[in-house]
């Protein structure tokens, strides 16, 4: 799968754009006709499509709905300065609109901001909240300072921990353990290891998980569930970078980056841990908002999971009705619930795109349908965004007064 597909009939411009974006680290393919573009998108959808509206064999506007069903981000590009074309393109499903001559640097920065290379950190999401999490993960990856990740169950705390690991450049393992899943009687042996004969049943020496993480990252999920009597021992390891296996008389030096997580609030974690351990692990704190508070990430995540579960079955996208269904559901189980729903829908789907009927009854029954006023407000927001935040220009384009536009955006009657 390439990062970007350019659909453009101007060969010189398309190849120049391909060369420039390739130099910025993207993988870029170019096609010169609508027919070839649809073949590529159906069988190997990119992350982004840059689409010229004037093609030799089709009107680019007519391609947008089918491109949308493939779950790609669509940037329309044309030599026309007619703003109404931009509005129509956005209405049909485009996400952004550029006019030639294109500022290549600005385009590359926009793509890098919204679609960082997956190999860099692996996180999915374009919302301001998720971009903040990505930036914090980049900062947290530097050095050996401990990191505490907070968020509701299912928001993706381990994925953020793995992103920090990838960004850190550490060559050792990423070792993860859930504190609530390890029996208390085995916890000390699992984390710190043991010498042969250290206790009944210890028929061989074993490295602990902390030692396995040497040179890499150790991730302790739900640290608030850690047995109190072992918290002091963990604190000593984090402070001295040395540990002692059960039954041993010598310490072993260890070098790992420590990341912990919890589904409790910061105060909740503080209450469950020793005070000195709490301050040691909370050097850098990342809070991941629940999915219901970053609705902009629902469709990018859904389409990411669709590529994972649907490609081998020939499922290429979500119908508009399915997209609306997903966006209006509150997702109490967060990203984990969304992933499971997409996997289930791909199992029962018999066509090329997911429809509302493919999702579980729980999703369909709890989804709130937007009112006409809410749909109108969302459309106005898109037009304002298209006009670069210029509300006077947006009002003229929509055929309403500026006070009316402000009133409709505020939700007042």
pLDDT in tens, 289-333: 999 999 888 988 888 888 788 867 777 678 888 888 998 899 999
State the Cα–Cα distance between residues 323 and 336, nearest whole angstrom: 18
Residues in the chain: 413
State the Cα–Cα distance between residues 197 and 251, nearest whole angstrom: 18
State the Cα–Cα distance between residues 114 and 279, nearest whole angstrom: 34
DSSP annotation string for 74-106: EEEEES---HHHHHHHHHHT--EEEESSP-HHH
State the Cα–Cα distance between residues 368 and 375, nearest whole angstrom: 13
Helix H or strand E encompassing 194: strand 193-194
State the Cα–Cα distance between residues 329 and 376, nearest whole angstrom: 19
Does this model's pTM top 0.85? My answer is no
Report the pLDDT value the prediction gives residue 7, as an integer from 0 to 100: 92
Can you tell me the mean pLDDT for 144-160? 95
State the Cα–Cα distance between residues 268 and 301, nearest whole angstrom: 29
Percent share of the chain, pLDDT over 70 = 91
Cβ atoms of 163 and 286 within 8 Å: the answer is no
Can you tell me the mean pLDDT for 75-93? 76
Q: Which residues are registered as beta bridge partners of 207?
A: 193
State the Cα–Cα distance between residues 107 and 143, nearest whole angstrom: 32
Q: What is the mean pLDDT of the chain?
A: 85
State the Cα–Cα distance between residues 234 and 188, nearest whole angstrom: 10
Over the stretch 183-203, which tens digit does the pLDDT of each residue have? 887 888 888 887 776 666 766
Q: Which residues are registered as beta bridge partners of 4?
A: 28, 48
Report the pLDDT value the prediction gives residue 120, as an integer from 0 to 100: 58
More confident residue, 75 or 106: 75
Report the pLDDT value the prediction gives residue 83, as an integer from 0 to 100: 66
3-state secondary structure 98-131: EECCCCHHHHHHHHHHHCCCHHHHCCCCCCHHHH
Over the stretch 46-62, which tens digit does the pLDDT of each residue have? 888 999 888 888 888 88
State the Cα–Cα distance between residues 24 and 6, nearest whole angstrom: 15
State the Cα–Cα distance between residues 261 and 288, nearest whole angstrom: 11
Q: Which of 51-65, 68-82, 246-260, 324-338 has the lowest mean pLDDT?
A: 68-82
Report the pLDDT value the prediction gives residue 119, as an integer from 0 to 100: 40
Report the pLDDT value the prediction gives residue 112, as an integer from 0 to 100: 66
CA angle 335, 337, 343 (to 5 degrees): 105
Report the pLDDT value the prediction gives residue 36, as an integer from 0 to 100: 86
Report the pLDDT value the prediction gives residue 183, as an integer from 0 to 100: 84
Q: SS3 of 173, please? A: coil
Can you tell me the mean pLDDT for 344-367? 87
User: Which 8-state DSSP code applies to residue 351?
Assistant: S
Cβ atoms of 352 and 316 within 8 Å: the answer is yes
Q: Which residues are registered as beta bridge partners of 345?
A: none
3-state secondary structure 214-279: CCCEEEEECHHHCCHHHHHHHHHHHHHCEECCECCCCCEECCCEEEEEECCCHHHHHHHCCHHHHH
State the Cα–Cα distance between residues 162 and 388, nearest whole angstrom: 36
Q: SS3 of 346, please? A: helix
Q: How far is CA 117 from CA 29, 73, 123, 308, 341, in A?
A: 16, 14, 9, 17, 26
More confident residue, 188 or 382: 188
Q: Which residues are registered as beta bridge partners of 285?
A: 148
Residue 368 has pLDDT above 60, yes or no: no
Cβ atoms of 124 and 300 within 8 Å: the answer is yes
Among 171-185, 262-276, 314-328, the range with the most confident prediction by mean pLDDT is 262-276
State the Cα–Cα distance between residues 304 and 342, nearest whole angstrom: 10
Distance from the Cα of residue 261 to its chain's centroid: 18
Among 69-83, 109-123, 344-358, the range with the most confident prediction by mean pLDDT is 344-358
State the Cα–Cα distance between residues 356 and 293, nearest whole angstrom: 22
Residue 335 has pLDDT above 80, yes or no: yes
**Residue whose C-alpha is closest to residue 168's, from 256, 239, 240:** 256
Q: How far is CA 357 from CA 68, 292, 319, in A?
A: 19, 22, 11
Q: SS3 of 318, please? A: strand
143 Cβ contact partners less than 8 Å away, ≥ 6 residues apart: none
End-to-end CA distance of the chain: 47
């Amino acid at each position: 799968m390439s990062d970007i597909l350019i659909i453009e009939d101007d060969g010189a411009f398309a190849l120049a754009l391909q060369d420039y974006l390739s130099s910025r680290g993207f993988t870029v393919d170019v096609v010169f006709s609508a027919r070839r573009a649809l073949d590529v998108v159906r069988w190997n959808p990119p992350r982004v499509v840059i689409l010229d509206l004037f093609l030799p064999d089709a009107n680019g506007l007519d391609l947008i709905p089918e491109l949308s069903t493939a779950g790609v981000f669509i940037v329309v590009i044309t030599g026309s300065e007619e703003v109404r074309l931009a509005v129509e393109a956005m209405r049909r499903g485009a996400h952004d609109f550029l006019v030639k001559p294109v500022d290549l640097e600005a385009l590359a920065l926009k793509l890098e901001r919204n679609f960082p290379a997956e190999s860099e950190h692996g996180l999915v999401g374009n919302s301001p909240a998720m971009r903040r999490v990505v930036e914090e993960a980049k900062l947290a990856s530097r050095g050996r300072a401990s990191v505490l990740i907070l968020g509701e169950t299912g928001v993706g705390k381990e994925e953020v921990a793995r992103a920090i690991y990838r960004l850190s450049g550490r060559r050792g393992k990423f070792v993860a353990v859930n504190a609530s899943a390890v029996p208390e009687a085995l916890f000390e042996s699992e984390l710190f290891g043991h010498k042969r004969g250290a206790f009944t049943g210890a028929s061989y020496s074993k490295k602990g998980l902390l030692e396995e993480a040497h040179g890499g990252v150790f991730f302790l999920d739900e640290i608030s569930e850690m047995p109190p009597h072992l918290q002091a021992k963990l604190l000593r390891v984090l402070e001295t970078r040395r540990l002692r296996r059960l039954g041993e008389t010598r310490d072993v030096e260890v070098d790992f980056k420590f990341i912990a997580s919890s589904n409790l609030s910061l105060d909740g974690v503080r209450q469950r841990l020793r005070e000195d351990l709490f301050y040691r692990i909370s050097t850098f704190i990342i809070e991941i908002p629940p999915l219901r508070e970053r609705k902009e990430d629902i469709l990018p995540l859904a389409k990411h999971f669709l590529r994972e579960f649907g490609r081998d079955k020939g499922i290429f996208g979500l119908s508009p009705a399915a997209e609306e269904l997903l966006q209006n559901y509150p997702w109490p189980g967060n990203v984990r619930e969304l992933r499971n729903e997409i996997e289930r829908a791909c199992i029962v789907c018999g066509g090329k795109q997911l429809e509302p009927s493919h999702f579980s009854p729980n999703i369909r029954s709890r989804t709130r349908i937007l009112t006409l006023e809410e749909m109108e407000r969302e459309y106005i927001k898109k037009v304002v965004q298209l006009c670069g935040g210029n509300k006077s220009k947006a009002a003229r384009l929509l055929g309403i007064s500026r006070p009316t536009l402000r009133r409709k955006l505020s939700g007042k009657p």
